[in-house]
Amino acid sequence: MRRPTRRRHTFGVLAGVVLLTLAGVGAPAAAGQPGPACSDRPATTAALHDLTGTHRLVGAAIEVSGPGCGRWSAASGRADLRTGRPMRVDERIRIGSSTKAFTATVVLQLVAEGQLVLDAAIERYLPGRVRGNGYDGRRITVRDLLRHTSGLPDHVDALDWDRVDRWRYRHFAPAELIAMALAQPPPTTNWHYSTTNYVLAGLIVEQVTGRDISVEITRRIIGPLGLRDTYWPGDSVRIRGPHPRGYALAGAEGRRDVTEFDMSYGGAGGALVSTLADQNRFFAALLDGRLLDPVRLAEMTHTVPTDPDRLWPDARYGLGIISTPLAGCGGALYWGHGGTTPGFRTLGGVTADGRRAQLVVNDEPASYESWQALSTTLHTALCEAR
């Protein structure tokens, strides 16, 4: 559930692969109800079109909103290569690691309620679960899990991404994912992005509440915020309701449809389905204090340096949330997350003055330059018409 780097891509496709030419990729079509300050966003529109034009991604969509601007959205390219259906901004997508922000929020709510201690060893809640091969749950805290300072490897790295069809439809139990991680050698850096951390956090939630993390996310976040298009898919490999198809490049096979996927391999660190609008609503509510009290929100937004090879340059990680300086906005930050799943890449967040944006492409960028173009598009959207 992490971003492929310039050295390693999720489907084993290295940077510099020649992309397939897409016929009929059109210009972005703006939608939504803009306010007077945002009736036109030419720079954002151009950046979005660059994703499907210059970088040949199948489709891209963005929703932007904020004080004085209302809601503005645009889409470019195709939702379905087989039918030629245009990309839309209002359909459901897999959000991957943005799920981590939901899980971290639930954990911090439990801390506020006195059911969890953030700096307690995970051994207290999951006795014996993390032991062996040099790993010891007595030396790892709940906080370490949420900010990726646990020293645990990522089970996602152990999956066979060159033969994804062998396992894309199967269920992975949390215990199996943890065992896959613990069988790997330890990371060589102090900060190491690992979805396994959030699989463990989900089990801690289940241990202290008696309910699955999917239930707690639904009852504590999705329901209260009215996120009608956000849900936990379980073992269903399909996305319910209208959605774009998701594509990925896979060597000599070219671009493949990988929309159907059992997301149990991501679990509490990457399973959720949502929309751009729901994601904007969630991160706005999170950062303005509707989900966490001031003490817990301060804990969440206390960040540590990250490894740019496992995230992106200048990013800092809090507890399930990332801060990133905005290029072109006078040093402003945005707070949010991003997610990579087979067929979908999302990126988005909210600024201190309430501007928010969420971006999705239904394709796997095949070069470092195309990954950079995603970041450029988001930064442009958050800075334009400021």
Kind of pairing, strands 70-77 and 93-94? unpaired
In a 3-state reduction of DSSP, which class is residue 94?
strand
Determine whether 54 is exposed, middle or buried from the number of CB atoms within 10 Å of its CB (0-12, 13-18, 19+): exposed
Q: Is the CB of residue 346 less than 8 Å from the CB of residue 360? A: yes
332-358 residue pLDDT tens: 999 999 999 999 999 999 999 999 999
* Integer angstrom CA distances of residue 193 from 7, 21, 298, 314, 323: 16, 33, 21, 15, 15
Kindly indicate the confidence band of residue 192, based on its pLDDT and cuts at 50, 70 and 90.
very high
pLDDT of residue 385: 60
pLDDT band at 327 (very low <50, low <70, confident <90, very high): confident
Structure-token pair, residue 209: 């509440």
The answer to whether 227 touches 76, Cβ cutoff 8 Å, is: no
Q: How many CA atoms lie within 13 A of 50 on its CB side?
A: 17
Q: How many residues does the chain have?
A: 386
Q: Provide φ and ψ at 361, rounded to 5°.
A: -125, 145
| Residues designated as active site | 97
Interval 228-284: pLDDT, tens: 999 999 999 999 999 999 999 876 667 899 999 999 999 999 999 999 999 999 999
- Residue-wise pLDDT for 129-149, tens only, equals 999 999 999 999 999 999 999
* pLDDT per position as a tens digit, 97-134: 999 999 999 999 999 999 999 999 999 999 999 999 99
DSSP letter string, 126-150? STTTSEETTEEGGG-BHHHHHHT-S
> In this predicted model, what pLDDT tens digit does every residue of 194-235 receive, in sequence order?
999 999 999 999 999 999 999 999 999 999 999 999 999 999
216 DSSP assignment: H
Angle between helices 99-112 and 195-209 (to 10 degrees): 40
State the Cα–Cα distance between residues 54 and 14, nearest whole angstrom. 18
DSSP state string for 173-202: -HHHHHHHHHTSPPPSSSS---HHHHHHHH
Q: Flag whether pLDDT at 317 surpasses 80.
A: yes
Token pair of 128, please?
Answer: 């014996």
Average pLDDT for residues 158-171, to the nearest whole number? 94
Phi, psi of 74 (to 5 degrees): -155, 155
